[in-house]
Amino acid sequence: MEFISFYSGSSGNLYQLKGNSGNLLIEAGVPINKIKKALDFKLSGVSACLISHQHLDHAKAVHGIAKAGVDCYMLKETAQALKFEGHRLHVIEPLRQFKVSGFSVLPIPINHEAVRTGERVPGVGFLISDEVEKLLFYLDSFYCRYKFKDLDYLALGINYSKETMDPNLNSTRKKRLFRSHLSLENAVKMIESMDISKLKAIYVLHVSETNGSKPYFKDVLQKKFGKPTYCH
């Protein structure tokens, strides 16, 4: 299993997971021309695209992806918000496993509120297995109630920390940030709750440009857990 991060952050997210019998796109939050270029114009080899939720930094190009012949998997609420329909749409449900091209995928509910409005946004992360290795992809959630074991890879959205947060952030924005994205401190607690004996790598995603620090996050996690850590 190979996890690739092409774009990560509030300006757009695009990831790829390659397994034994196919490959998945996770998110489509950049323009379709950037997706085509990232994949060397080989979208025909993509098995499917998984969309976590409706925000455009995760789903901007979903219609373009579908027009290129790629099936898209998302919640009903996500499809409705994006006005996405047709035979390329596959509606998924939280905690109901499905299979696509040799992958088993379990949607894991996220806890996410829009930073600007405070509105709760339905969404999911993905626990993905190719029957040999297992990856948890979990972005845009300020906490996780679930515990995991036997993970080989962890791709986790860590947006900010108390140490790196912008001191000029106003109180309203700060409160909404606390209920929209995962902090480094809560990420540490989340990982501590797991059995990480098999874990081969931690991928840190969606780091805030103003409230986070990739070098600091990498240093803290690598020292704490002793696992190779990559920040994107």
What is the C-alpha radius of gyration for the chain, rounded to an integer number of angstroms? 17
In sequence order, which residues have a C-beta less than 8 Å from that of residue 76 and are 6 or more positions away? 91
Contact by Cβ (8 Å): 65, 48: no
Spatial separation of the C-alpha atoms in residues 72 and 51, rounded to whole Å: 7
Q: What is the DSSP letter of 43?
A: G
Residue % of the chain over a pLDDT of 90: 76
pLDDT score for 213? 95
**Which of 27-36, 156-165, 176-185 is the most confident on average?**
27-36
For 45, the token pair is 């080899």
Tens digit of each residue's pLDDT (9 = 90 or more) over 47-99? 999 999 999 999 999 999 999 999 999 999 999 999 999 999 999 999 999 99
In sequence order, which residues have a C-beta less than 8 Å from that of residue 59 and are 6 or more positions away? 27, 28, 29, 51, 53, 74, 78, 82
Helices (H), 25-183: 32-38, 56-59, 62-67, 76-82, 171-178
pLDDT score for 169? 74
Contact by Cβ (8 Å): 134, 151: yes
Provide the 10 A C-beta neighbour count for residue 219. 13
For 124, the token pair is 């999911």
Residue 223: enclosing H or E segment and its boundaries?
helix 214-225
Structural domain boundaries, residue 145? 2-231
**What's the domain count of the chain?**
1
Q: What CATH number does the domain containing 26 carry?
A: 3.60.15.10
Spatial separation of the C-alpha atoms in residues 97 and 118, rounded to whole Å: 30
Spatial separation of the C-alpha atoms in residues 172 and 62, rounded to whole Å: 31
Q: Which among 84, 55, 53, 57 has a CA at the least distance from the CA of 70?
A: 84
pLDDT score for 114? 59
Tens digit of each residue's pLDDT (9 = 90 or more) over 107-144? 999 987 655 666 788 999 999 999 899 999 999 888 89
pLDDT score for 202? 98
pLDDT score for 158? 95
Kindly report whether the global pTM for this prediction surpasses the value 0.75.
yes
